[in-house]
Amino acid sequence: MTVVAQKLSAGKRLGREDGLALFATNDLLGLGRLADYANRLKNDDRVYYINNLHINYTNVCVNDCAFCAYRRKQEQADAFNMPVEQVLAKAAQLWHSKAVEFHIVGGCHPRAKLSYYCKMLSALKKAYPGAHLQAFTAVEIDNIARVSRVGVRETLTALRENGLGSLPGGGGEIFAPAVRGKICPEKISGKRYLAVMRQAHQLDIPTNVTMLFGHIESAADRVDHMLAIRELQDETGGFNSFIPLLFHPWNTRLEQLSKTGGIDVMKTMAAARLILDNINHIKAFWIMLGVALTQMALFFGADDVNGTVLEEKITHEAGADTPQHMPGEELERIIIDAGRTPVERDTLYNPLQR
Ligand code: SF4
Q: Does residue 353 have a pLDDT over 90? A: no
Residues having CB within 6 Å of any atom of ligand 1 = 61, 63-65, 68, 70-71, 107-108, 139, 184, 187
User: How many Å lie between the centroid of ligand 1 and the Cα of residue 144?
Assistant: 14
User: How many Å lie between the centroid of ligand 1 and the Cα of residue 60?
Assistant: 9
CA torsion sign for 113, 100, 319, 281 is positive
User: How many Å lie between the centroid of ligand 1 and the Cα of residue 211?
Assistant: 14
What's the CA gap between 5 and 257, in Å, rounded?
33
Q: Does residue 234 have a pLDDT over 80? A: yes
DSSP 137-151: -HHHHHHHHHHHTS-
User: How many Å lie between the centroid of ligand 1 and the Cα of residue 210?
Assistant: 14
Which amino acid would we find at residue 351? Answer: P
196 CB-near residues (< 8 Å, 6+ apart):
138, 141, 142, 152, 188
- Tell me which residue has its CA closest to atom 2 in ligand 1: 107
User: How many Å lie between the centroid of ligand 1 and the Cα of residue 141?
Assistant: 13
pLDDT at 354: 77
Buried b (16+ CB within 10 A) or exposed e, 59-88: bbbbbebebbbbbbeeeeeeeebbebeebb
Q: How confident is the model at residue 274 (pLDDT cuts 50, 70, 90)?
A: very high
- Tell me which residue has its CA closest to atom 5 in ligand 1: 68
Give the C-alpha distances (Å, rounded to integers) separating 321 from 290, 291, 313, 315: 8, 11, 12, 9
106-151 confidence digits (pLDDT tens): 999 999 999 999 999 999 999 999 999 999 999 999 999 999 999 9
Maximum Cα interatomic distance, the chain, rounded to a whole number of Å: 59
User: How many Å lie between the centroid of ligand 1 and the Cα of residue 279?
Assistant: 26
From 187, 248, 253, the mutation candidate for ligand 1 (largest count of ligand atoms within 8 A of CB) is: 187
Q: Decide yes or no: CATH 3.20.20.70 for domain 2-344.
A: yes
110 CB-near residues (< 8 Å, 6+ apart):
60, 62, 74, 147
Mean pLDDT of the chain: 95
What's the CA gap between 50 and 100, in Å, rounded?
8
From 184, 196, 247, 254, the mutation candidate for ligand 1 (largest count of ligand atoms within 8 A of CB) is: 184
Beta strands in 172-238 (DSSP E): 207-213
